[in-house]
Structure 1
């Protein structure tokens, strides 16, 4: 049943695109002129690897809305576009003009409060025990790398939109997203792209290698250089680049897979990362959804080889990942696609706020360093949630 549901999702999305008004005449610079927007949970990818699904999560394993009217805002160019079917444009303008005249989505910031401390599901010793199991699998030759993650939870009241606005300000990221759902909300502050499709061009941008930012400029630069020079982090990155070259190769034109960027330093508000870029040309007979199916879930958040790493993750982690390490993004009706990897992301469902943090474990990983890396990646979440609990 899980496999049939995966197949039916791709079929349903393709069929939905055929029912939308033709948008071929719209400017090519617009990345989304109507189509599907939503997410795939990490657990959605288990069926494709033959791994039994976890117990029912708080959110569906996949959710997409189909939109024929869109408002796109270019914050850098200070321009906006409203796209709608010709017979609905007047109505769309009437609906959107009052909203655009307002400086805020809401006249007043909605109430949001964190109730109590953030709770760490795993103790440090439980993380160490899981790390030891992963290390044993690596030594036995089962795998080369496993991305081991741990969850955190907190209780909240009010509108998650306020939390998203606050975190987006202190933790800006290029693939951020906010989704309002019937069950709750998704808040993502991801720095990582899973897959972009532009015409017949494919791009993935895996992240492997992390160091925290430091307040002192010289210390921060030394931390960045240490990351660039780290054999362990570069080896992690190279393993995932090889995995993703293989994933893209399943849907790419023969000989078209290239690596134009390998282990480049990218610095964000709170962490430094090593980021690579893998590109390819889509083969004849393939489309954006077949490329997404080939790449999902992203290799940087599973490990290598992908299937065995995912089996180990399912065995050892403290429950289903849910949205964490899934993907959020859009499928444009003209064939384009852009999906993030939902790291540095939260779900807010019925008063329960949940997020995860993890890192890749390889043969020369140190358990204390790996544990600290998970905390570094979500330190800003802990700080801001503690402040909001104090404000309450």
Structure 2
């Protein structure tokens, strides 16, 4: 008996070839079914396990590794063109292959924080920055013991770092290099992806050629060098075959920079590890940078948080000062509209289209320009985009928008806090184990994320920590015991469990049957301003045989197979994402709901979900009408910041409860504009 739903993508087949009334033809039915299963596995890049006795196991099928698919793609390209590269190694292929490692370790003066180190090294005003900070390392939080609470990572020398950018849907990726040995070179080259089987095959190829060799004695640090950067939510949609249409820009969805110089802060021991990867063709000044940086860090003095506002740069002197007709503008989601979207989610759930939908919305902040952005940035990275006029809200519209009390008053004659000052304020208000500050690929990200997406070690042990279930600290909910009573209810646990099953499925597709386990279920953790419920799901990558190491699985396989983060989609993942695209009116989430992290040359990696964050693109500006002192009007450009927030909607949700959760998550990042206003 076969059944197909008339409108929904549901199919069912029922048969009983093992029944007592079935004739011998029943054996053929089973054989045909098994043969079709094997064929499907092969067509969908799944591995079928061959046993020593000649039997085949389809139920342990996993995806082919990226390195295996890379070899197939290169072989096909060789047969078609004679050679993938015609024997030539272009500049980006030669850079940094087979690196060596060296480091210097120094004691940090008492009280020195990551922000002090960044400022001492002059990176707070740089146009290319990557800082991954465990800002809650010294805070009282029950979560810090089993997340990245011990180390923070600061990338250095990014103006001379190789950068890889990819816009979802393109047939090519682009390598960029700004400087070499202090000299401006401005190199940029497109690399077509057919020879690599896609963007992740290209990344796997670069990682493989630049990994540190086995047998080399290395320090037990989370990061020695390698890729650092961000991946957008839209790249994750593409990875699960959801087509994106009519995107009005050409910004990178994958932006990774190859870090050869970095500083790793050990908060537990109070140490700074100054380190670099080098090769014979990149030896310009020996270890001079490493030694001079170590000397500077040993003499670094601590800055106190109360000096935050005093550190603001003085505005440049002008012949005329200009006062815009509007102060910093904040547009939050409309209460009724968000509640209506929650109801729409529940209608889809009731109809059987999804079990859970992770609905989000965005708040937009426009304010006078802060960081100085090179004039070439817009032209270099992105296609031209029309700049709309900043909307003006009536008093009634402003009253309808929640959190209007958070809108600061600011004029262009007032020093505008930089993105670095926004970050320092956010990290002081919301210490988190996965805080990050990035200026890369035309994007600026300020994040205080509490959620790890994926971590993996050099031995193939992977761990994911889906986070679902949030309650804000208050006078009535101030202890872990009180939070557990609120979060351990059917609605909150159902949110978490459905995403846990989804994450287990993602891990299983790479690790295989029997290699995935839930090590910590529905655990409530305490953070600075909220309590969160998490589950830890772990997996072990298959161990390659001695003659099969070139086809081995790596943490990158898990990363590529697991995007976008399940805690930001719903279950089942693909169908839920399709519905969310419709409900959210195809508005891009961009960096929000994506991931930020690193891939180390040792095979380690650590990625966090981009939540509790604010971001900006250099090429997104709006024009507002300002007024000079003599009364004449003039136009002024403002930058645009975005803050995403939301929650998981289930059949047990209420529109009012989901709206309250969304604004609770929004409040922390949004308040930094008021704090610095």
- TM-score above 0.5: yes
Secondary structure of 1:353's counterpart equals: strand
Of 176-185 and 96-105, the range deviating more from structure 2: 96-105
- 1:84 is matched with 276
- 2:557 is matched with 290
Cα distance 1:137–1:388, how it changes in 2: closer, same or farther (>3 A)?
Answer: same
Secondary structure of 1:46's counterpart equals: helix
Residue pair 2:265, 2:272 contacting (<8 A) in 1 also: yes
Separation of aligned partners in 1, 2:441 and 2:513: 43
How far apart are residue 182 of structure 1 and its match? Answer: 4.7
Residue pair 1:115, 1:154 contacting (<8 A) in 2 also: no
- 2:514 is matched with 255
Of 372-381 and 57-66, the range deviating more from structure 2: 57-66
Q: What is the correspondence of 1:333-352 to structure 2 with a 5 Å cutoff? A: 333-350=601-618, 351-352=639-640
Residue pair 1:57, 1:320 contacting (<8 A) in 2 also: no
- 1:132 is matched with 343
- 2:293 is matched with 96
How far apart are residue 12 of structure 1 and its match? Answer: 2.5
Secondary structure of 1:250's counterpart equals: helix
> Within the alignment, does 1:118 sit opposite 2:330 as a pair?
yes
Q: Which sections of structure 2, spanning at least 5 residues, go unmatched?
A: 1-167, 173-192, 316-325, 371-417, 544-551, 619-638
Separation of aligned partners in 1, 2:248 and 2:222: 34
**More helix as a share of residues:** 1
Secondary structure of 1:127's counterpart equals: helix
Residue pair 2:340, 2:655 contacting (<8 A) in 1 also: no
Separation of aligned partners in 1, 2:439 and 2:295: 21
How far apart are residue 170 of structure 1 and its match? Answer: 1.1
- 1:358 is matched with 646
How far apart are residue 293 of structure 1 and its match? Answer: 1.0
How far apart are residue 339 of structure 1 and its match? Answer: 0.5
How far apart are residue 346 of structure 1 and its match? Answer: 1.3
Residue pair 1:20, 1:68 contacting (<8 A) in 2 also: no
Cα distance 1:266–1:111, how it changes in 2: closer, same or farther (>3 A)?
Answer: farther
Residue pair 1:112, 1:160 contacting (<8 A) in 2 also: no
Q: Which has the higher contact order (CA 8 A, sep 6+)?
A: 1
> Within the alignment, does 1:64 sit opposite 2:289 as a pair?
no
Separation of aligned partners in 2, 1:81 and 1:221: 35
TM-score by length of 2: 0.54
Cα distance 1:115–1:17, how it changes in 2: closer, same or farther (>3 A)?
Answer: farther
Cα distance 1:36–1:338, how it changes in 2: closer, same or farther (>3 A)?
Answer: same
Cα distance 1:68–1:179, how it changes in 2: closer, same or farther (>3 A)?
Answer: same
> Within the alignment, does 1:373 sit opposite 2:661 as a pair?
yes
Residue pair 1:243, 1:304 contacting (<8 A) in 2 also: yes
- 1:312 is matched with 579
- 1:234 is matched with 493
Q: CA RMSD in A?
A: 2.6
Secondary structure of 2:242's counterpart equals: coil
Residue pair 2:480, 2:525 contacting (<8 A) in 1 also: no
Residue pair 1:194, 1:327 contacting (<8 A) in 2 also: yes
* Bigger Rg, structure 1 or 2: 2
Aligned residues: 387
Q: Which sections of structure 1, spanning at least 5 residues, go unmatched?
A: none
- 1:279 is matched with 538
